[in-house]
Amino acid sequence: MRILVLGFSGYLGGHVARELRALPGVRFFGAGRGPAADLAVDLATVAPGQLAERFYSFAPDAVINCAGAVGPQAVSLAEANVRGPAVLCAALREAAPAARLVHLGSAAEYGPTGIGERVTEEAAARPSTLYGATKLAGTLAVTSSGLDAVVLRVTNPVGPGAPAAGLPGRLARQLRDLGPRGVVRLGDLSAHRDFVDARDVAHAAVLAATAAGPLPPLLNIGSGRAVPVRELVHELAHAAGFGGRFEEGAEGSARSADVPWQCSDPGAARTTLGWSPRHRLADSVSALWAAVHGDPDREPVH
């Protein structure tokens, strides 16, 4: 089976690539902007026809799209999260219309939900952030493409390779640089989030790419358990042996204020793919700390 992964050198794409390389009977191809890519491409700028021409030579049986943007810039978000999936779908319709497309979406597409609610795929999507809105637009491009496609709506990934742009990766680097004592100032940590291990996300993507028969258009990928962000911080402090102090302020991200609770129901993924998370939050945080602490000079591609 020939599987091509877009964004293979990024956070989630890297975990997908590692799992595919070890999977018997799979020929893996990496696509992206890095020099190690088998297919050098930037979905934010490539034309659909140009991408289709390049796909012909790879003849993929499945494509996993892990490319995307999370930063605050509206243009970058639109190019990567909206234009990218649309161009990818257009190219696949021309060059590999029978290929399975697995696209990584986001639980941010759902927007605010009720406290205590576990959101299913049938819930209305009402994103409250620009990031969530662009991810939803990308999802619609995929689900309306007519391809054999599934969107995995991922909750909050955590684990080895977590980039410094997010709280887990940023805090791990702070604790590494600060040492066992000191003061770390953070925003409000009371929001509840559904954390899922990045390696479990990768496993879900691989299962979706290799599953026989049609799949639902949407599948939630999360732990199914919401915990205060404060719990993640304390788990990371424990893993790091940090004996200093956290000062928690009222100020925080706009999303934390707008979405105080986020939790997805992964039941459909369990039924359809036989998938369930294999790592606890403590495992994810320990692996993140080991990666950051053990290789202090390396910054992951994201």
Q: Which residues are catalytic?
A: 131
What sections of 211-265 are H helices per DSSP?
229-240, 254-258
For 280-295, the three-class secondary structure string (H helix, E strand, C coil) is CHHHHHHHHHHHHHHC
Closest CA to 257 of 208, 161, 191: 191
d(CA 5, CA 43): 12
- Let me know: does 65 contact 85? Beta carbons within 8 Å: yes
Nearest residue to 221 (alpha-carbon basis) of 137, 131, 124, 156? 156
